[in-house]
Structure 1
């Protein structure tokens, strides 16, 4: 249904309709709310419409939403509702109560406190998972005049939709053994037809059951129209006594209502789209660039990565933009102001967070406390810089004189990697726990995400070690761990032999240096059809480190940006893909001696970072119907 409301200015007004009922998943809903608040400006205005059942009316989490609005002098409208009619009943009551002031909004966002955390995460990540995602959706509405609804990827379907196009969690929960057509039973269709007649010809010109559709979960963005300001409020007056007092899987009027809204868009020849979970670029971060005892011993006192880069005279090797020009220069990572500027640069260019390499050794040459190159990570915990989401990736390979992780001779070995036994595994987890418990630590469904660079190198130690860690995580008050392995050349070239990691490794991330960006899932030890976080490589050139690398992979910022954009566009065509949060891993933030660098350099400045920002601000909306 086309927007039939006239607006006098170019200011975009959004009505955020939030229904809080049996539970308040405050982490996800707060993040959605925060991202909407970040988008506010002179050209985007936000108004909150909040419905509360008696169960949550006095919950402390509710104050987070109300106080933020009052503190920012924004309008908020609260309505108290009975615990009936599910979220759709509360939504109709909101529309009815405030119908006389809704015409100011061009767009509506409807979200509610879904009790299923995986389903809620898909909705929040897709609809408001980042400020850039919100901008992408608003831009899609502004540029596609027939777009009526934007839903979470894989949540909108009809009786004839392929199961492969449905969000996998939804498919497993409701349609594992039955067809999608069971969501459109005769009783629900008859109720929809009755409601269509009650709405009148302007809203529902005819009813055709083969166009019946559903946005499962009833969380979506919509273009505002008289459907929301007049027709649905009037319908609420006539059906309010039919709203259910308890929950049922099907056949209630609420089920007809949640199917009715997207169906009306189709009946009026309007477009329904969906959008993937917000892309969250996580840049791999090398925590060196300061002197420490092991490097002093191996390479000479005061050695850092800059020692190698400063010696390099190869053509095409880029060096850092100086601090005075807005870059970072030849920094010391123990300097707080350097790390603060890293966070500022990353955040302002759409980089979601950093994945710090973590070094823990057991074997010949390892320190007694196992920690190597740890100062930057521990200092970050102390001074909170970079103040950015972060996670750790265990770079679990031996250190050698060739920086390759390959022991070709005893003479080449610097620190071995043998992994120890259970006592050491416990000690290692206790050390990691301080990071896992940090509020900025990256999580998936509440579980800290921990990456392992070479799972194959752990061999028979992997399963008992990770099983112990997951148990210790739960004992420490965490919901578990989300363990991610790396699909890299060690695995694809069979240097590290594959083996069964089921129940231990939960996902994989792509670390393929010879490909500019992922375009498909890859064979992995955790399974081809399991969660895979795709990735992109800025460029790769080891000449500063090795001196004789014959085939540097050189890419301009535009070539990198084009590949990264194509990857995100490809992900938008895969509604049935196994994914919860849209992490993608970028190699790298600051690998200067491999030239895999997002940080600004003397040659290209900030152009690589600008390419990322361009992509995350323009996430495609896929046409579903």
Structure 2
């Protein structure tokens, strides 16, 4: 099981410029509002608490130890390469690498532009600059790939792409990375494709694929709310006076349960959702996320994976605190979600 991991819990120059000095993901959590009766914000508690990935001593190793003890085999870490060696949030796992921390991890290229969605402002553009830039990207990743802690499968470093459909020369990227991986002793790259379905022809380039958004797409079964959401999405990203939109976790989990995994498709476990924390009234909140509904969802995904003879499951996510999408110890569930995962995966 690989759990998505967000490395934005430390200050960077760009976020200080865009959002104010001292901004990290914790800023959004601290400022989060309750939007309706019974709506609670999940906040960090010990043994991890509110950490700083650059200041806390081997905090990622501590996180991974807790994750591993409860059924997570590795972190699938969001990696940001905007082209021409422009990177963001890369330092925490450079620290993990250089300090030789005991952390099993692989990267997922978050190949999307950064936006201020409430104001419709482009903050940082994702660029695709062709083969020479892909060679530079691989050169940056190379030391990670060669680390004994980087996750490999079939003598191939695991590497995921968030939105393959956005890459105009996707095959060039894949062929370049595979060739360079072979040159340093691997048998190529073990490719994962996110936001991908059986209808995407490019999925044949990948070893495994998944669509973690599929769970949330079930909200289209709420016709009136979904219509209003679509209307709001056409207002140039301006403030939504109707939201946040609230859907039912149990209902969406039951819809997802009916989805049959295809060959090489991975099941995805959803550990809650509340983007009202990050996007305010433009957010989406899933109510009725509880220990029992989470346990049922985990069992359903594991059963689907077993039926499909799948060798991997994705957890979304380990620490997306500003999306209410996490498994770390929190003020509402404590360690109980971890215990549920441990018991379900044993």
Classify the TM-score, shorter chain.
0.7 to 0.9
Unaligned runs of 5+ in 1: 1-280, 363-367, 404-408, 493-497, 523-527, 618-625
Is 1:537 aligned to 2:270, yes or no?
Answer: yes
Counterpart-to-counterpart distance in 2, 1:384 and 1:507: 29
Task: Give the superposition deviation at 1:551.
Answer: 4.3
Larger Rg: 1
User: Does the C-alpha gap of structure 1 residues 510 and 415 become closer, same or farther in structure 2, counting only changes over 3 Å?
Assistant: same
Specify the alignment match of 2:280 in structure 1.
547
**Secondary structure in structure 2 of the residue aligned to 1:478:** coil
Counterpart-to-counterpart distance in 1, 2:294 and 2:43: 18
Counterpart-to-counterpart distance in 2, 1:480 and 1:344: 29
Is 1:393 aligned to 2:113, yes or no?
Answer: no
Q: 2:193 aligns with which of 485, 490, 505?
A: 485
User: Does the C-alpha gap of structure 1 residues 420 and 394 become closer, same or farther in structure 2, counting only changes over 3 Å?
Assistant: same
User: Does the C-alpha gap of structure 1 residues 306 and 550 become closer, same or farther in structure 2, counting only changes over 3 Å?
Assistant: closer
TM-score calculated relative to the size of structure 2: 0.81
Unaligned runs of 5+ in 2: 217-251
Specify the alignment match of 2:332 in structure 1.
603
User: Does the C-alpha gap of structure 1 residues 499 and 569 become closer, same or farther in structure 2, counting only changes over 3 Å?
Assistant: closer
**Secondary structure in structure 2 of the residue aligned to 1:359:** strand
Task: Give the superposition deviation at 1:401.
Answer: 0.5
Q: 1:351 aligns with which of 72, 80, 101?
A: 72
Counterpart-to-counterpart distance in 2, 1:461 and 1:546: 32
Specify the alignment match of 1:288 in structure 2.
8
| 8 A Cα contact 1:395 1:454, kept in partner | yes
Specify the alignment match of 1:76 in structure 2.
none
| 8 A Cα contact 1:510 1:585, kept in partner | no
Q: 1:587 aligns with which of 316, 322, 329?
A: 316
Taking the TM superposition and a 5 Å limit, the aligned residue runs for 1:522-533 are: 528-529=262-263, 531-533=264-266
- Where relative contact order (Cα < 8 A, 6+ residues apart) is larger, the structure is 2
Counterpart-to-counterpart distance in 2, 1:361 and 1:550: 26
Is 1:303 aligned to 2:23, yes or no?
Answer: yes
User: Does the C-alpha gap of structure 1 residues 432 and 593 become closer, same or farther in structure 2, counting only changes over 3 Å?
Assistant: same
Task: Give the superposition deviation at 1:383.
Answer: 1.4
Q: How many residues are matched?
A: 302
Taking the TM superposition and a 5 Å limit, the aligned residue runs for 1:81-100 are: none
Task: Give the superposition deviation at 1:503.
Answer: 5.5
Cα RMSD between the aligned structures?
2.1
Taking the TM superposition and a 5 Å limit, the aligned residue runs for 1:224-243 are: none
Task: Give the superposition deviation at 1:342.
Answer: 0.7
Task: Give the superposition deviation at 1:432.
Answer: 1.1
Task: Give the superposition deviation at 1:451.
Answer: 0.5
Is 1:339 aligned to 2:60, yes or no?
Answer: yes
Specify the alignment match of 2:298 in structure 1.
564
| 8 A Cα contact 2:77 2:106, kept in partner | yes
**Secondary structure in structure 1 of the residue aligned to 2:82:** coil
Task: Give the superposition deviation at 1:518.
Answer: 5.5
Is 1:473 aligned to 2:200, yes or no?
Answer: no
**Secondary structure in structure 2 of the residue aligned to 1:443:** coil
**Secondary structure in structure 2 of the residue aligned to 1:296:** helix
Is 1:313 aligned to 2:14, yes or no?
Answer: no
Q: 2:307 aligns with which of 566, 573, 594?
A: 573
Specify the alignment match of 1:450 in structure 2.
159
Is 1:378 aligned to 2:94, yes or no?
Answer: yes
